[in-house]
Chain A
Amino acid sequence: MELIEAIILAVLAASTPLLIAATGELVTERSGVLNLGVEGMMIVGAACGFAGAWLTGSVFVGTLCGIVAGTMMSLIFALMALGLAVNQVATGLALTILGVGLSGLIGAGFVGERITPAVHLAIPGLTDIPLVGRVLFGEDGFVYVSIALVIGVWWFLYRTRAGLILRACGDNHVSAHALGYPVLRIRTFAVMFGGACAGLAGAYLPLAYTPFFIPGMTAGRGWIALALVVFSSWRPGRLVIGAYLFGAVTILQLHAQGWGIGIPSQFMSALPYLATVIVLVLLSRARSGGSTAPAALGTVFVPDR
């Protein structure tokens, strides 16, 4: 019983940064922009988040620092890929390389320091319910925010006019422009939202997951988040399932090692990517029509004036 609860808690903790970062990237990609720099934005968010929290002693301020840092990183991307119409794949990869270096620089003075991690919710009575109590009512704020975020994004994309316009930009930017929508401005906001989410997801790692910062601590989570968006076929609902599935695989891999199951850990780490490939194949075979990816994804748009 306690083991199951522990596993569920661990899965939630491992899934949350994936879910947050992937939700941001989903919005970015739905607007037609492919930002491969999630890993870079996350790691800078982690370094700045930890620095902010350590300097002020407040996890909340640290979180804000992480969000701002991720947004700033995404603005670099927006300037290059949208403003100057540079190839998005190249810009995104460069952003990751930049982020990894930058985070090492920012975080260098903080390696080895510890902070008090984000507090967990505690409601007397509810939190003590066996099995589900701590899972539902004893999480840290990030977990609840991640759920609210994905629901909010779903509502935004499918229930608001602004969301419809954003999806329209991702489907056909020429048409959106012809109808008079400011494609590049809308995409810039989408990229910034993606950056803010990546920064938040990055900040989660040293502020809630572990109470310290080490260089390279995102450990490829940004890439998994990218794979997740594809896995979800750009739908928020499937994104939640995918994030918890991928989180579970990560935890499974640790437990498998602990139980002495003879599967190489590298194979287990590769599972999320393998799962993404399989899902992609299944989706493309099963879909009755209509492309799943935003049609304008990754294409450069230069309005003629």
Chain B
Amino acid sequence: MQAHQRMLDSTPDGLTSSEPPLLRTIGLSKRYGDFLANDAIDIDIRPGEIHALLGENGAGKSTLVKAIYGLIQPSAGEIRWQGQPVVLSGPSEARSLGIGMVFQHFSLFDNLTVAENVALGLDGKESFKDMSARLEQVSKTYGLPLDPRREVWQLSVGERQRIEIVRALMQDPKFLILDEPTAVLTPQEADQLFIVLERLKAEGRAVLYISHKLEEVKRLCDTATILRGGRKVETCNPRRETAASLARMMVGGDIKEVKAASGRKTTVPRLVVNDLSLAPAEAHGVRLEHISFELKGGEILGIAGVAGNGQDELFAALSGERLSKDPGTIVIEGIAAGHLSITRRRKLGAAFVPEERLGHGTAPRMKLSENALLTGHAASGMVHHGFIDTAATLKTVDRATETFDVRKAKRDPEAASLSGGNLQKFIVGREILRNPAVLVVSQPTWGVDAGAAAVIRQALLDLATAGAAVLVTSQDLDELTEIADRIAVMFHGKLSAPLATREASREKLGLLMGGSSLEPKEASHAVGA
């Protein structure tokens, strides 16, 4: 990679800048009703550059790339491809120009094979056989191994992304768009991806790279365009910026730093899991195997791991959505609770925040007050003699709103009308206001903007300081190292022994996330591969 870097830097500077941009948008706007998702955006993409597109959720990144890929029609402005104005009526037109895209939420078909999925992304001019042969060749050339005959549902997230990338590469694109490609990868898998991207760059292709991870952008990208509220804020060289300065441009102000109170003391064990094993409930589920840990009051335990390694199953077992036959496997506040229902566990002082905000964390079409009642009815005095105390439910909403800065249009709107960050603040707030002894929270800041994420992380830290035991499952390693005292890694339904956060390097965690053990011999082997 070092060699690559030098080679590219040695390219005469004048060559790239005098070359006309491969793709240029001029005053590109997209309006949805009253809402301007993109407001007159100008962006230049040059051949052989990795161009980062930065911005918070709702800043308009997805809208912009959808317009460039022909998925939506801009309301105003124009797109120029190699200097010529083009109107892209659909993705196939974009593809025929040489624009490829790798989606954030994969555009794959679970019940079709890898080869069929790739075929669907191509124009179908070659026979299936020729296509399969080319698929194998491309995946070999770029070091992205794939078995064309397997069905997608059998594959890991990393392998699924490989399909998307290979599919895009098979069109021999001049310009490739990647929408948050590393969000679902282990650090090692991300490194593999960067090697592929560096190679594409060396081949003279342009890459538009959307990411939230600023360190990654600084390391990889030559140019960064920052969007905020649908407008372009700045185009800069990310290597000359700091992560903090980039974040400031994204948010339009400083982000409050999350601070842990010093002298936090751990107390009695509040959540203990003893040798918990559970068969999967669904056909594609993960079996939990011999999971044990002890979580004391005042402590935050982080669980890292690539999605789909049993985190959902563990959450279901802890929250009581799935019961364990042996009561002693889960002990909450000293009471064996493995066989207890969700409501009984809540009465013991436990609170749960699931990953999915709409549909799991809240009933989308019900008001916030009703949603507050749904998790608080057992233990928070909102029901008297079977009747709902409306005043009490509204008060809960108001308290959560004030304490956690939930922004909403009405006093008591439907859950679905809130933005992701605000709804998450409400859900976390609703549980924290009940003063739980144990809080189990899954992906607390997934898809939440940086400001809201800081509020939520601070709230979790404060809760631990107040003496509660907090279990956080997250795929975001930065988040876990920021707030957790210890970090364990989930892989294939097994949980590693927790590491103290200061000893948990990204490399160690990445190895565990990829299924290697930390014994020296095996670890070095994995690095070599």
Residues of A within 8 A of B (CB): 161, 164-165, 167-168, 171-172, 174-181, 287, 289-291, 294-295, 304-305
6 tightest CB-CB pairs across the interface, nearest first?
A: A180-B91, A175-B107, A178-B107, A171-B109, A180-B92, A180-B90
Q: Which residue of A lies closest to B108 (CB)?
A: A175
* Interface residues on chain B, number (Cβ under 8 Å): 28
Q: Give me 16 A-to-B residue pairs in the complex whose CB atoms sit less than 8 angstroms apart, sorted by A's number.
A: A164-B119, A168-B116, A168-B120, A172-B107, A174-B105, A175-B108, A175-B109, A176-B109, A178-B107, A179-B91, A179-B107, A289-B154, A290-B110, A291-B110, A291-B283, A305-B73
Which residues of B57-99 have CB atoms within 8 Å of chain A's CB atoms?
70-73, 90-92, 95
A164-B119, A289-B154, A289-B284 known; A180+B70 contact, CB < 8 A: yes
- In the complex, how many angstroms separate the beta carbon of B99 from the nearest chain A beta carbon? 12
Residue B293 interfacial (CB < 8 Å): no
Residue B103 interfacial (CB < 8 Å): yes
User: How many pairs of residues, A versus B, come closer than 8 Å at their CB atoms?
Assistant: 66
Q: Which residue of B lies closest to A293 (CB)?
A: B111
- In the complex, how many angstroms separate the beta carbon of B336 from the nearest chain A beta carbon? 32
A168-B120, A178-B103 known; A291+B91 contact, CB < 8 A: no
Does A179 lie within 8 Å of B284, measured CB to CB?
A: no
Q: Cβ of B194: which chain A residues have Cβ within 8 Å of it? A: none
Q: Cβ of B142: which chain A residues have Cβ within 8 Å of it? A: none
A164-B119, A168-B120, A289-B153 known; A175+B106 contact, CB < 8 A: yes
Does A290 lie within 8 Å of B153, measured CB to CB?
A: yes
Does B112 lie within 8 Å of A304, measured CB to CB?
A: no
Question: Besides A179-B91, A289-B283, 8 other CB < 8 A contacts?
Answer: A161-B124, A164-B116, A164-B120, A171-B109, A175-B107, A178-B107, A291-B111, A295-B111
Residue B361 interfacial (CB < 8 Å): no
Q: Which residue of B lies closest to A294 (CB)?
A: B111
- Bound Cα distance A102, B154 (Å): 48
- In the complex, how many angstroms separate the beta carbon of A85 from the nearest chain B beta carbon? 17
- Bound Cα distance A165, B111 (Å): 13
- Bound Cα distance A167, B153 (Å): 15
Q: Which of A165, A289, A304, A305 contacts B120 (CB 8 A)?
A: A165
Does B110 lie within 8 Å of A171, measured CB to CB?
A: yes
- Bound Cα distance A161, B95 (Å): 18
Q: Which residue of A lies closest to B101 (CB)?
A: A178
Q: Cβ of A164: which chain B residues have Cβ within 8 Å of it? A: 112, 116, 119-120
Q: Which residue of A lies closest to B124 (CB)?
A: A161
Q: Cβ of B44: which chain A residues have Cβ within 8 Å of it? A: none
- Bound Cα distance A165, B116 (Å): 9
Q: Cβ of A181: which chain B residues have Cβ within 8 Å of it? A: 120
Residue B172 interfacial (CB < 8 Å): no
- Bound Cα distance A278, B251 (Å): 57
- In the complex, how many angstroms separate the beta carbon of B167 from the nearest chain A beta carbon? 9
Residue B515 interfacial (CB < 8 Å): no
- In the complex, how many angstroms separate the beta carbon of A249 from the nearest chain B beta carbon? 30
Does B120 lie within 8 Å of A172, measured CB to CB?
A: no
Q: Cβ of B108: which chain A residues have Cβ within 8 Å of it? A: 172, 175
Residue B151 interfacial (CB < 8 Å): yes
Which residues of B110-128 have CB atoms within 8 Å of chain A's CB atoms?
110-112, 116, 119-121, 124, 128
- Bound Cα distance A174, B72 (Å): 14
Q: Cβ of A290: which chain B residues have Cβ within 8 Å of it? A: 110-111, 151, 153, 283
- Bound Cα distance A164, B105 (Å): 21
